[in-house]
Amino acid sequence: MNEFSTEWVEQHDCVHPEVLIEDGDFGPDDVLQSGMAVLIPCPVCGETPHDSMGIEQARNQELQEALLAHEPDRALFHWSPRARRGQIERYGLRPNMRSTTSSTRLGGPFVCFADSPLWAWALSGNMRWTPKGEWDLWETTLSRLTDPIVLASPERASGIYEVRVEHRVYKRNLRYIGSRSK
């Protein structure tokens, strides 16, 4: 059992205001220095940002376990520039390849999937900084991914924001669906 209860999250969305550390708040040898911005506990309930992150991690873990147990054949989708089709057909999707969407700065390298082609497009090819041209849609299932990381989103009907995998997705586990232009 996780130490965090997700019941509170459903009742109240905590807000953690950002405050600026001012001169004299801390000494010269302290970790926090003047000019730094920090998040403070929620003014409504007192929950700390650290506790909120723990609750979110617990929610993601529960969703991931439920999906793997009950929906292992859930279809997942990934868009990539057509210029990479030959590499994908030969090697599959490799997380160590240069990212098209800059997600590697978020802790990658990893390959990202969405639970619908439209949402996958919104998270990749439809971003303003991704290259124009032809894009290919690839499909796999949750059970064909090695150690998937499911990111939850209460705003999405499926509850899934994105599925990430830090391991190669072999070509035998992918199916080419079609292409579109950006």
CB-count burial class (<10 Å; 0-12, 13-18, 19+) for 181: exposed
Same domain, 130 and 150: yes
Domain count of the fold of the chain: 2
b/e code 143-163 from CB counts within 10 Å (16+ = b): ebbeebbbebeeeeeeebbbb
Contact (Cβ atoms closer than 8 angstroms) between residue 165 and residue 110: yes
Is residue 88 a contact partner of residue 80, using CB atoms and an 8 Å limit? yes
Residue 42 domain-assigned (yes or no): yes
Residues 40 and 89 in one domain: no
Q: What is the 3-state secondary structure (H, E, C) of 43-101?
A: CCCCCCHHHHHHHHHHHHHHHHHHHHHHCCCCEEEEEEEHHHHHHHHHHCECCCCCCCC
Enclosing H/E stretch for 177:
strand 175-181
How far is it, in rounded angstroms, from Cα 5 to Cα 39?
22
Whether the Cβ atoms of residue 146 and residue 134 lie closer than 8 Å to each other: no
- What tokens were used for 94? 């490799």
pLDDT of residue 125: 82
Q: What is the structure's pLDDT at 108?
A: 65
pLDDT in tens, the chain (182 residues): 344 444 444 556 778 889 888 888 888 888 888 888 888 898 888 889 898 888 888 887 888 888 888 888 999 999 999 999 999 999 999 988 766 665 445 556 889 999 999 999 998 888 887 888 999 999 999 999 999 988 877 778 787 889 999 999 999 999 999 999 98
Domain match, 158 and 91 both = yes
Last residue of a domain, one of 66, 81, 107: 66
- Res 160: pLDDT: 84
Q: What is the pLDDT of residue 144?
A: 95
For 21, the domain range is 7-66
Same domain, 52 and 110: no
Are 47 and 89 contained in the same domain? no
Same domain, 23 and 91: no
Residue 3: predicted pLDDT:
46
